[in-house]
């Protein structure tokens, strides 16, 4: 590496970080070959787990093998990839432009992309860990929930979204629809099981999205409790309490726990008072106490609380940042604007012996709400197919 080499350092080899690394490695391959550019990606794990597929696991629609891939198969060989102790970030120093990892190795950068995602924080809700069932965290947790659902034949199920924001905000509602369909058409137990959703804010996505899912919830006789921020779980009473003092009884509680950005970013003083990494909503450049840092970009679930956290949003943020970095490295100094493109896949029926699967992937942008839509059989097949195309197309930045 020469002294004139430009260093791009990417923190996190999840969806967003992988797209940036692979896109730059492909589009700037000549610069890499001439030793003018070096791309490095860091992650504590050498395994990519597609968490978006967890909602399907309880209904036997995916296996772990379909949701797990070694990162060495996903990241371009033109990228310097470090995992384990050499990839687990322990400190980020924006003043020195230096990142430290668990092995005490240090990496310097000219451009930094923060894509470390966020983490579940069930400990933030008193009592939640006493009765903790979720599809939102790990494969192990998801399989534990699957076993409970298989053996649950009568009673009241409450799906609680403790607080906001969360990644993939449509997932809890989608899960409730899939569970309803499973009970009706597979187990034939829907008449014996009540389903309720405790939702922490007023709206579920943009207006048309909210209108559609609200109508489906009513049609499927799933209770919806809006503005229900869960502040306490009483496992003995089988009861959750909201910030306003409301209570909901349950026989089985399924929780989407509170979320927090990667603790390293909090410890490094990069996160804001809300616990997220502030960024300009258009350029996606880090927006710290001293203003915009033009060399640091924030994408995905770590990012600003005002930017929607979904896989589709992360994809378009990664594409946008890749284009901006390409421009900067080539000396064009053109910032590609992020227009807030986001989306949230929805499924309203499972494919069973008695029903056609129905799905749709609505998208929208800043100040441009999504149009009215409905789920379709074709949408079901496209969405199911996407999880297989994901590995070779999305993660590798091919579209």
What integer pLDDT is reported at residue 273 of this predicted model? 87
Domains and CATH numbers, the chain: 6-117+262-329 (3.50.50.60), 120-259 (3.50.50.60)
Contacts (Cβ under 8 Å, ≥6 apart) of 275:
260, 261, 266
How far apart, in Å, are the Cα atoms of 342 and each of 11, 60, 274, 327, 394? 22, 28, 22, 23, 15
Please provide the DSSP assignment of 309-354 as one string: --HHHHHHHHHHHHHHHHHHHTT---PPPP---EE--EEEE---SS
CB within 8 Å of 121: residues ≥ 6 apart: 257, 258, 259, 260
d(CA 240, CA 330) in angstroms, rounded, equals 55
Question: What per-residue confidence (pLDDT) applies to 333?
Answer: 86
Q: What is the pLDDT of residue 370?
A: 76
The angle formed by the CA atoms of residues 62, 65 and 70, to the nearest 5 degrees, is 135
CA distance 128 to 136: 14
Q: What is the pLDDT of residue 369?
A: 74
The string of DSSP codes covering 291-320 is EEEEEEEE-GGGS-TTS---HHHHHHHHHH
Q: Which residue, chain included where needed, has tokens 């699967």? A: 357
pLDDT recorded at residue 1: 53
- Across the chain, which has 399 residues, the per-10-residue mean pLDDT values are 86 97 98 98 97 94 94 97 98 98 98 96 97 96 96 97 92 97 96 98 92 97 98 98 97 96 94 92 95 97 91 96 98 94 94 95 87 94 91 89
The single-letter DSSP state of residue 369 is P
Closest CA to 224 of 166, 164, 177, 168: 177
Q: Transcribe 87-100 into DSSP letters.
A: T-EEEEETTTTEEE
* Residue 165 token pair: 């924001």
Cα 183 from Cα 189, distance rounded (Å): 5
Question: How would you classify the pairing of strands 193-198 and 223-225?
Answer: parallel
pLDDT of residue 3: 72
Q: How many CA atoms lie within 13 A of 88 on its CB side?
A: 9
């Amino acid at each position: 590496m020469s002294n004139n080499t430009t260093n791009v350092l990417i923190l996190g080899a999840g969806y967003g970080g992988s797209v940036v690394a692979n896109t730059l490695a492909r589009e700037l391959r000549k610069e890499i070959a001439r030793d003018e550019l070096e791309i490095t990606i860091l992650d504590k794990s050498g395994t990519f787990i597609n968490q978006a597929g967890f909602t399907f696991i309880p209904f036997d629609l995916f296996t772990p093998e379909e949701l797990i891939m070694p990162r060495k198969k996903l990241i371009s060989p033109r990228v310097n990839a470090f995992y384990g102790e050499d990839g687990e970030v322990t400190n980020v120093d924006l003043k020195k432009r230096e990142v430290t990892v668990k092995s005490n190795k240090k990496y310097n950068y000219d451009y930094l992309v923060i894509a470390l995602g966020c983490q579940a924080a069930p400990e933030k809700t008193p009592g939640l860990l006493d009765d903790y069932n979720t599809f939102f965290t790990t494969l192990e947790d998801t399989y534990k929930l699957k076993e409970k659902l298989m053996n649950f034949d009568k009673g009241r199920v409450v799906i609680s979204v403790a607080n906001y924001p969360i990644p993939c905000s449509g997932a809890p509602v989608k899960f409730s629809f899939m569970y309803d369909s499973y009970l009706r058409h597979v187990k034939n137990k829907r008449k014996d099981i009540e389903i309720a959703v405790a939702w922490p804010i007023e709206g579920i996505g943009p207006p048309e999205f909210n209108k559609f899912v609200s109508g489906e919830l009513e049609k499927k006789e799933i209770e919806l409790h809006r503005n229900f921020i869960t502040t306490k779980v009483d496992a003995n009473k089988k009861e959750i309490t909201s910030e306003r003092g409301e209570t909901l009884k349950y026989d089985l509680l399924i929780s989407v726990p509170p979320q927090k950005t990667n603790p390293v970013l909090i410890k490094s003083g990069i996160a804001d008072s809300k616990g997220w990494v502030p960024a300009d909503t258009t350029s996606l450049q880090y927006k710290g106490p001293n203003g915009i840092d033009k060399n640091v970009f924030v994408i995905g679930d770590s990012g600003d609380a005002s930017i929607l956290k979904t896989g589709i949003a992360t994809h378009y943020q990664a594409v946008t940042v890749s284009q901006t970095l390409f421009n900067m490295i080539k000396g064009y100094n053109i910032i590609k604007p992020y227009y807030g493109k986001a989306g949230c896949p929805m499924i309203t029926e499972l494919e069973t012996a008695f029903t056609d699967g129905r799905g749709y992937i609505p998208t929208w942008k800043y100040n441009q709400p999504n149009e009215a839509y409905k789920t379709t059989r074709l949408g079901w097949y496209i969405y199911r197919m996407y999880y297989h195309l994901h590995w070779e197309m999305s993660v590798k930045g091919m579209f």
